[in-house]
């Protein structure tokens, strides 16, 4: 599809308002996300590429809103783990290093436009099933993507455009951050 700026903005709007969140309406899911962000002592954000950059941005905004958040996109850690253990381990290993589920409630927020990134899936499986950690997912593309099955709360953006999916993810989590900060 060829976009103009207005049709692109409309695509982002449509994808955002039509985000699927299980049996919840998107507004209810945002409220649930706010509840989870407030109810967990530590929040880790994971994502690749542009989603990784969004993790850095969202972790910063969450901290400013009073949530103890950390993006796991540090290139030194990622390249060390990728070299020593393989790229599929880059987020899982960091969750093992930095989280302490026995002492604090922890939340993992995972961003993957495709919902099929092996390193994101590996980390979410470990977080949910090995570490008993709460997981929130943001995905797009194929509605049956694997990531969508791994979260306690799942935001699925119905678009085939990486840019639309990524911007919708950012709008959704920004809405939750603004609610926490008392701006919405």
**Whole-angstrom distance, CA of residue 38 vs CA of residue 158:** 27
Quote the tokens at residue 147.
């990531």
pLDDT over 90 at 177, yes or no: yes
pLDDT of residue 61: 97
CATH topology for 15-98+109-180 is Rossmann fold (3.40.50)
pLDDT of residue 170: 96
Supply the pTM of this predicted model. 0.95
pLDDT of residue 1: 67
Banded pLDDT at 101 (limits 50, 70, 90): confident
**Whole-angstrom distance, CA of residue 154 vs CA of residue 151:** 6
């Amino acid at each position: 599809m060829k976009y103009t700026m207005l049709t692109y903005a409309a695509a982002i709007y449509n994808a955002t308002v039509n985000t699927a969140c299980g049996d919840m309406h998107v507004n209810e899911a945002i409220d649930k996300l706010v509840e989870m962000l407030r109810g967990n002592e530590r929040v880790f954000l994971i994502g690749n590429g542009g989603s990784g950059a969004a993790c850095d941005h969202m972790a910063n905004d969450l901290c400013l809103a009073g949530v103890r958040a950390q993006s796991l996109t540090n290139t030194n850690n990622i390249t060390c783990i990728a070299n020593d253990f393989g790229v599929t381990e880059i987020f899982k290993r960091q969750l093992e290093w930095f989280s302490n589920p026995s002492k604090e409630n922890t939340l993992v927020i995972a961003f993957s436009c495709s919902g099929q990134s092996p390193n994101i899936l590996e980390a979410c499986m470990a977080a949910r099933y090995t570490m008993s950690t709460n997981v929130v997912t943001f995905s797009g593309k194929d509605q049956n993507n694997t990531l969508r099955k791994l979260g306690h709360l799942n935001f699925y953006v119905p678009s085939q455009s990486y840019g639309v999916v990524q911007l919708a993810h950012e709008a959704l989590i920004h809405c939750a951050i603004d609610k926490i900060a008392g701006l919405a």
